[in-house]
Amino acid sequence: MAPVGIVGLGAYVPPDVMTNDDWAEIVDTSDEWITTKTGIKERRIAAEDVCTSDLAVIACKQAMDEAGIGPGDVDMLILATSSPDVPLSSTAGITQHKLGCTKAAAFDINAVCAGWVQALDVGARFAGTPGYDNVLVVGAEVYSRILNWEDRTTCVLFGDGAGAAVLQEVGEDRGLLGSWMMSDGGGAEVIVIPAGGVKKPIPSPGFEDGDQYFHMDGPAVWDFATEAFPQAVRGVLERTGRSLDEVSLIIAHQANLNIIKAGMENLGLPMDKTFTNLHKYGNTAGASVPIALREASDEGLIKSGDLVVTVAFGGGLAWGANAIIW
């Protein structure tokens, strides 16, 4: 395979801010509880007329501008989301149309919060091969639309946003070294929207109000994530022949500050080897890694030649990591 790297990044979050104090006026919670348990202080909420594809379009345009390409140059668009505009057609196809990428293939990936690291791996396997000079990989979510705003165990955790990258063939001394991916369908019920598919249509005899919203087993997610995070990092480093000592920065899924702290401690790495922005945006699911990657780059935390590991874990259960020479 030709060496493939990220040549353009984009990120977008809606302008409307919802703080912990705002949530405390809606459900029985507090700023102190949310901050202590998660590290989240605020999150962004999309306007009622804004869809996941709309956020994706803005992030993609930024990434395309940085890469110096236009809509007609895009050969493939892969969109990671678990909050699609509609059950079908694909949100990737809707985004492709809105962008005007008329020559591009487009498809969705649903690995919940691990979606973007999977999409990056898939996109890198196409980029640089005949017919795929430019591949757009985007993660976009409007979780505010799939949450039960009366369920205090989930509604305060998430925010809306999108992040994107353009992949192209690059020089031998940089690019995606490899990925490590894993799934465990036995944990499918840990993070789930119970209704809306063929198993439990809306309405149906088994449907109960609330089944249409996001559900999560918090303790099970903690146990899974704190093991999956370091496992994926070690897995991708072993697969690519690299060591923890070589890692310049880890960009982890921005689910919970305490999960990131536990994962870094397990790896024996200090917190200054990672980057967090979840205090501003909450958990943006499949969009969190590319948003954080863009912000870390903007803050000068990533330099040419750095080994960067992106790692994520989410519903499915699914988890994985990518190793990139910047």
Cα–Cα distance for residue pair 53/4, rounded to 1 Å: 26
Query: In the structure encoding, which two tokens stand for residue 11, read together?
Result: 């990120």
- Which member of 20, 51, 253, 256 is catalytic? 253
- Active site includes 155? no
- Which member of 110, 256, 283, 322 is catalytic? 283
Which regions of the chain does DSSP assign to beta strands (E)?
4-12, 17-19, 42-44, 76-80, 105-109, 135-141, 161-169, 175-183, 191-192, 215-216, 247-252, 307-314, 318-325
- Active site includes 113? yes
Cα–Cα distance for residue pair 65/326, rounded to 1 Å: 19
Which residue's structure tokens are 């005007």? 100
Cα–Cα distance for residue pair 163/293, rounded to 1 Å: 9
- Active site includes 51? no
- Which member of 51, 113, 256, 277 is catalytic? 113
Cα–Cα distance for residue pair 254/277, rounded to 1 Å: 7
Three-state SS at 202:
coil
Cα–Cα distance for residue pair 158/107, rounded to 1 Å: 24
Q: What single string gives the DSSP state of each residue in 63-106?
A: HHHHHT--GGG--EEEEE-SS-SSSSS-HHHHHHHHHT-TT-EE
Cα-based torsion angle of the residue sequence 208, 224, 297, 35 in order, rounded to the nearest 10 degrees: 70
Task: Name the residues annotated as catalytic.
Answer: 113, 253, 283
